[in-house]
Amino acid sequence: MSKSRDPIGVFDSGLGGLTVVKAIRALLPGEDIHYFGDLARLPYGTKSREQIIRFSIQNTEFLMRQRIKALVVACNSSASAAYAVLRRRFSLPVVDVITPAAREALLASPSGRIGLIATRATVESGAYDKALRALNPRSRIYSAACPLFVPLVEEGMAADRLTQLMAVRYLAPLMRKKIDTLILGCTHYPLLAKVLKQVLPRGVHLVDSARPTVQGLAEILSQHGLKNGRGRKGKLSIYVSDKPRSFTEIGERFLGEKLSHVEVVRR
Ligand code: DGL
């Protein structure tokens, strides 16, 4: 059977990567997707670089056993620590979320004053600073680590008053820098877009990596002759390393579709 029929592998520490899956479903509807959410070990953003690299390799090995044709690292914390390692170690196309978001931010920002909110691991890695400077050395980036956002989203509290208070606190230093664009540097954060918009001054652009990442993925699949051109809707299989009680409900809210195949894999 042609390799183009094989699934795309996507992983994240938890539910956040489903924001990227949603974009794949919209832009590449014929593709089968195997998603792995490492819920037993979430969050990644507070862990050391070595640990995140180890987890990312294990997640990729699991997906490779599902015979994936390409990998999307739908976790900024993993991408910032392990992208280069994964590309060296595995022989398949690997796509991350950081460069596409950086490119999109530069297009959106008239002043080049760009804010980044992300996990501590992503901010401390300097991966966005590097990606933005490589594309435009004159860009200015101001970062804020937001360690409480991931648990708030995973708890289904994206629209809670508490989340809004945290957003005010996290964003205040960035607003003082007069940013005109804000990168959502964690795949969980698009779920906070409504709250963030309430807190930010009007006119600040929010950059979500999902769409530009999937546009890049589509190009790479075409280049490698791996695009699945069939008409019917692809199948989505979800694997998790643990399944909290509210997983299906929150996951369906993330994705906007029913999660029919969710399997717990013990490793
Ligand atoms: N969605 C992950 C990211 O993009 C969340 C990280 C975490 O588990 O802390 O960074």
Residue 51's CATH number: 3.40.50.1860
First to last CA, the chain: 29
User: What does the pLDDT average to over 155-181?
Assistant: 96
Question: What's the confidence (pLDDT) of residue 77?
Answer: 97
If asked whether residues 92 and 110 sit together in one domain, one would say: no
Query: How many separate domains does the chain show?
Result: 2
Residue 192 pLDDT exceeds 80: yes
Question: What's the confidence (pLDDT) of residue 222?
Answer: 97
Domain of residue 58: give its range: 3-96+211-264
Question: What's the confidence (pLDDT) of residue 1?
Answer: 62
**Atom 2 (ligand 1) nearest CA:** 75
If asked whether residues 69 and 149 sit together in one domain, one would say: no
Please indicate whether residue 246 or residue 97 has the higher confidence score (pLDDT).
Answer: 97
Ligand 1: atom nearest CA of 78 is 10
Residue 83 pLDDT exceeds 80: yes
Ligand 1: centre distance to CA 3 (Å): 30
User: What does the pLDDT average to over 204-219?
Assistant: 97
77, 119 Cβ separation under 8 angstroms: yes
**Atom 8 (ligand 1) nearest CA:** 43
Question: What's the confidence (pLDDT) of residue 178?
Answer: 97
If asked whether residues 198 and 256 sit together in one domain, one would say: no
If asked whether residues 243 and 147 sit together in one domain, one would say: no
If asked whether residues 7 and 55 sit together in one domain, one would say: yes
Question: What's the confidence (pLDDT) of residue 145?
Answer: 98
If asked whether residues 12 and 52 sit together in one domain, one would say: yes
**Atom 9 (ligand 1) nearest CA:** 45
Instruction: Output the ligand 1 site: residues, CB below 6 A.
Output: 12-14, 16, 42-45, 75-77, 119, 122, 150, 186-188
Q: What amino acid positions are annotated as catalytic residues? A: 75, 186
- 3-state SS assignment for residue 262: strand
If asked whether residues 121 and 55 sit together in one domain, one would say: no
If asked whether residues 84 and 215 sit together in one domain, one would say: yes
pTM here is 0.95
If asked whether residues 146 and 224 sit together in one domain, one would say: no
pLDDT in tens, 84-124: 999 999 999 999 999 999 999 999 999 999 999 999 999 99
Ligand 1: centre distance to CA 16 (Å): 7
Ligand 1: centre distance to CA 166 (Å): 17
Q: What is the DSSP letter of 6?
A: S
Ligand 1: centre distance to CA 189 (Å): 9
Question: What's the confidence (pLDDT) of residue 229?
Answer: 80
User: What does the pLDDT average to over 121-128?
Assistant: 98
Cross-sheet strand order for the sheet of 33-37: 94-96, 70-73, 8-12, 33-37, 236-240, 262-264
Residue 247 pLDDT exceeds 70: yes
Alpha-carbon distance of 171 to 185, in angstroms, equals 13
Alpha-carbon distance of 97 to 118, in angstroms, equals 12
**Ligand 1 pocket check: which of 10, 12, 55, 208 to mutate, most ligand atoms within 8 Å of Cβ?**
12
41, 55 Cβ separation under 8 angstroms: yes
If asked whether residues 203 and 245 sit together in one domain, one would say: no
The domain boundary residue, chosen from 178, 193, 209: 209
User: What does the pLDDT average to over 253-261?
Assistant: 87
Question: What's the confidence (pLDDT) of residue 141?
Answer: 97
If asked whether residues 107 and 82 sit together in one domain, one would say: no
If asked whether residues 42 and 136 sit together in one domain, one would say: no
Task: Give the largest Cα separation in the chain, rounded.
Answer: 56
46, 121 Cβ separation under 8 angstroms: yes
Which H or E run contains 80?
A: helix 76-89
Residue 246 pLDDT exceeds 90: no
Ligand 1: atom nearest CA of 147 is 9
